[in-house]
Amino acid sequence: MKTELQKMLDGELYDASDATLVEMRDKARTLTAQYNLQMGKPLAERNDTLKQLLGACSTIDIQPPFFCDYGSHITAGENFFMNFNCVILDCAQVTIGKNVMCGPYVQIYTAYHPLVAEERIKGPELASPITIGDNVWIGGGAIICPGVTIGNNTTIGAGSVVTKDIPDNVFAAGNPCRVIKQINPDKTEFV
């Protein structure tokens, strides 16, 4: 029989009040609180705490305050930057490539709930993994929804709500987020 953690990571309905999951979230809350109190301290000192919190990380710079559910389901490649007040609900795996930059208030949500009210009020939750490719810029206030993949070399406009996969080498924006234009790597452009 699967544990609630296994169900959660496998994208099945799970009980978030399971003792193991509560303990994991409590540990993450303690580490994020410790991390957020380190605002203004050297990056190397803050990163010691992040390495305890995150599943895997390389050279990263997350500006406090930062919030997550578990931390252990987040992997980030080298040169990852996340600005102030970002949230990652990592009930499923969140894979972030190298050279990814996030503006302030970016929210990455793997968690969701059944649409049918009768099922939802029973309490079980769901989660779907999120993948963000290499060299991605996510503008401030963007929301990345469960199950989404963002391709390499892509820019997501500020305030966008990304509900579907976004391909490589595009500028995408809006609510819902949609491709606005292809990015030409041989031409310098600014958003």
Q: Please, are residues 30 and 46 in contact by the beta-carbon 8 Å criterion?
A: no
Q: Which residues, including other chains, have CB under 8 Å from residue 1's CB and lie 6 or more apart?
A: none
Establish how many alpha carbons lie within 13 A of residue 93's alpha carbon, considering only the half-sphere containing its beta carbon: 12
Torsion of CA 113, 115, 116, 122, to 10 degrees: 10
Q: Is 5 helix (H, G, I), strand (E, B) or coil?
A: helix
Q: Which listed residue (25, 29, 98, 113) is catalytic? A: 113
For residue 34, give both structure tokens: 């410790």
Query: Is position 113 annotated as part of the catalytic site?
Result: yes
Side-by-side strand order, sheet with 94-96: 56-57, 74-76, 94-96, 130-132, 149-150
Nearest to 166 by CA among 127, 136, 141, 139: 136
Distance of alpha carbon 39 from alpha carbon 71, whole angstroms: 18
Residues catalogued as catalytic: 113
